Amino acid sequence: MLGTMSDELAASLLSQMMSISGQISGRMREGLDRLGLTEPTANLLWLLRPDVDPLPLRKLAALLHCDPSNITLLSAQLEQRGLAERRPHPRDGRVRTLVLTPAGQDVRQRLIDAVARHSPLAGLTLDEQHQLDRLLTKAIDAL
Amino acid sequence: MLGTMSDELAASLLSQMMSISGQISGRMREGLDRLGLTEPTANLLWLLRPDVDPLPLRKLAALLHCDPSNITLLSAQLEQRGLAERRPHPRDGRVRTLVLTPAGQDVRQRLIDAVARHSPLAGLTLDEQHQLDRLLTKAIDAL
DNA sequence: TCGAATACTTGACTTTCTCAAGGAAAAGAT
DNA sequence: ATCTTTTCCTTGAGAAAGTCAAGTATTCGA
């Protein structure tokens, strides 16, 4: 049946995605000690893009699929290390946003570089990487 | 510079992979309560392929990047729910392998189906899914 | 202005995970 | 064959991360 075939393909893709992302976070772990981070804090750091408007803590909790109180804990850790700051939202006094400090931007970039260099995706040719980029972009935009 | 361009591409791919796998595990969480599982046990269940020789606990720990004692805990939970069994390795008395019961195979398949249906990758055409499959396969094989 | 909703924090608690130590089986050396 | 070494799993103690319920402050809407 057609349904079965595409189900198998979907399951195979799923398994591959999980395997690769597992490899990536495994690779990430190796560098964390050196940067003085744990995996949960690194996952939060990952979301703090310097080129985008800072996100409210609540939004970060949604992106990480966890309770807001957990973000309170993790961002306090980043703050204590001088990597990020909680700033009040300019328009809404209830909201706090999390912003990287220069030191935080540096650590984040070093983390990304270290992982990207050893990622399984680095084994693909440049052309293949562009194909992959196109496919993933479409998948994400479809959300 | 050329190096910069490919670094940016690699970082972009990385970010996309993390985003999609985040979506996937988010989707997974939604079904877990209904199946009586937690996320860590589901991640273990994921690795227990019925069509492949059962893996030693140590191997499972390596795949999940965690301590073997943690696998002891998680597999005990699966065992208690009747989803898996720890069996002595036929040739090596030190080793224990983890094998799904029929009930465990059923739960695992339902988990995979539920996630695959709502995965971001399901939005791609069948042709695109094949392209993606080819690229990911190559990336994984390069390990 | 007053009630309802939203955002973050705090505290108590559970679950997950790691580390150090220990026992059992296999492998290697003598 | 015996003894040492290594490998694998388990146990127990403890740290870290996560959830939940309650509390405070701010904003929104009637």
In a domain, B31, yes or no: no
Query: H or E stretch including A76?
Result: helix A68-80
Q: Tell me how far apart the alpha carbons of residues A41 and A83 are, in angstroms, rounded to a whole number.
A: 11
Predicted local confidence at residue B5, as pLDDT = 57
Predicted local confidence at residue A52, as pLDDT = 94
Contacts of A9 in chain B (CB under 8 A): 126, 129-130, 133
* B121 CA vs C20 C1’ separation (Å): 44
Predicted local confidence at residue B65, as pLDDT = 95
Q: CATH number for the domain including B121?
A: 1.10.10.10
Q: pLDDT tens, B46-95?
A: 999 999 999 999 999 999 999 999 999 999 999 999 999 999 999 999 99
Q: pLDDT tens, A18-59?
A: 999 999 999 899 889 889 999 999 999 999 999 999 999 999
How many structural domains are present in chain B?
1
Predicted local confidence at residue B4, as pLDDT = 58
Predicted local confidence at residue A142, as pLDDT = 83
In a domain, A93, yes or no: yes
Q: Check residue B53 and report its DSSP letter.
A: P
In a domain, A13, yes or no: no
**pLDDT band with cut points at 50, 70 and 90 for residue A6:** low
Q: What value does the mean pLDDT take over residues B30-53?
A: 94
For residue A82, the enclosing domain spans 30-141
| pLDDT at position A2 over 90 | no
In a domain, B101, yes or no: yes
Q: Tell me how far apart the alpha carbons of residues A28 and A111 are, in angstroms, rounded to a whole number.
A: 7
In a domain, B66, yes or no: yes
The DSSP string of B71-109 is: HHHHHHHHHHTTSEEEEE-SS-TT-EEEEE-HHHHHHHH
Interface check B62 vs A, CB under 8 A? no
In a domain, A2, yes or no: no
Q: What is the pTM of this model?
A: 0.91
Closest listed residue to residue A32, CA positions, set A71, A72, A83, A73: A83
In a domain, A11, yes or no: no
Predicted local confidence at residue B61, as pLDDT = 98
Strand partners, A99: A85
Strand partners, B96: B88
